[in-house]
Structure 1
Amino acid sequence: MTELSYEAVVRTLRTAGCVFAEDEATLLLQSARSTDELAAMLERRVAGEPLEVVVGWASFCGLRIEIDPGVFVPRLRTEFLVDEAARLVELVRLVLPSDEPVVVLDLCCGSGALGVALAETLDTDVELYAVDIEPAAVACATRNVAPVGGLVLQGDLDEPLPDHLLGRVEVLLANVPYVPTRVIASMPTEARDHEPLVTLDGGPDGLDVLRRVAELAPRWLAPGGHVLVETSEGQADDACAAFEAAGLTARVAVDVDREATAIVGTLLAD
């Protein structure tokens, strides 16, 4: 096969509608080990597969997170959940110093990116548990979580968690699906056709899974513990109401630069 030049790859990507064709071409050329592999990767990308799936990894919080086909790709805006969680942990440990590991639970973990990034960010030991319902995600997350010593479990939200975690979790991260069902059809092809529906579809108003997380969180959180979820600006009020109905205090956190909206729920100490 004739060698594919950088310019040829850029033209092909641009024709396919890739907005960042130059950056993508560079990454594809760096990742491919042969001209044939480059051609195959380019064909997959033009067909709509997420770039991160094509090259096998995503950049998240400065880390290289492995991504397999059929696994949700972590978005840049979701880094805000990690930043906010790290800030909260550091505040608590400043007021109440402890040598004990921070117990972190990552629900709907996908690739495991959030839990791994938080463990790598914190300047203290972390006891990490991650859960996903999708076998492909569990296999992928297991590889990503291994370097930080975490445990990945397969099941529906908290169903597979061991009882010894009850009342011990200091940070619960949940990158829940929050796209309303009726909106799925209008999403970009690379998400709609190449990521599991269960990672996108949040039900009629997008908050079905978020409400379930709000309901289960108080059982697992330690007093003063936090649960953080991503949502949209328009869903924030209803999401806060769901947290408050479950007995948590709730506030909205916003990162304008990353266009990220998060809900932070806290289990107040008695």
Structure 2
Amino acid sequence: MRYEDTELPVVLDVGQIISFHYFEYVKDFQGVGESHDFWEFVYVDYGEIWIQADEERILLCSQEGYLHRPGQYHNIYAAGVFASVFIFSFRSRSHSLRHLECRRHPVSRWGKDALAVLLRTGKEFLEEPYDDFGQEKLRWKPDVPETAGQLLKNRIENFLLLLLQESREDAQDTADRHYQEPRGRETVEKVTGILSENLYGSIALEQVAGQSALSQSYIEKIFKKHLGTTVMDYYHRLKIARARELISEEELTFTEIGDKLGYGSIHNFSRVFKKYTGMTPSGYQKTVQSKGLL
């Protein structure tokens, strides 16, 4: 048999990583605007933030990202709610990134999985802190394996390639979605508005459908498509984001916060809080105090 090579073209290549951050912003946070000669990706894990991109202000919601191009003036502002944000910046000469630059990107479940792996890899190999605004150089932890750099590089490239693939698939479907897409975005905005108005208390999917005059199945389909999650999962994420803000303010007890957000008992509140944050309310409070977020 005569075997032939199959070329593996390089579509996207990351040369160097510049910064790696996970920030938690209180509701009145305002950043310092800057521009630089490398790429920067901003992803909202919880809550909402405003970003400045040159002359434009853009609201980024939970599970949405934005890629700032080199040389673009940018900044971050709180949107009046507590928010957690993952930011990494890098150098690349790949022209394919032009298809992703200066756009709001809803991140799919596959993209979120890739980001989670990237975040874990960075925390495994890079020195803390991850929330230092003034950090100018990343430092490797002692005794990291020789594979660390390439693994981190591959994790970043993997996420960006997924984003690029999904972006191009969306572009191919633009004609078919000419009338449907605006309605989909409007549905997301309408439903998230209803959920936000009902943070204090509770609301079921059936009630959301009634208030929005849309079917439950259609709402769930649109949420899966645009946000990669269910309506009730998003609702609980909003509640827990608000709970984190209230805990950081240290004005209410955990029982009062759970009751205020409609969880009924401290046990139920603690269970849901741990599900979405990986820690108990008291454990989170200690983390906030140690980071000096207030």
If the TM-score is normalised by the length of the shorter chain, which range does it land in?
Answer: under 0.3
Q: Choose between structure 1 and 2 for higher RCO, CA contacts under 8 A separated by at least 6 residues.
A: 2
Higher Rg of the two aligned structures? 2
Scaled by the length of structure 2, what TM-score is found?
0.23
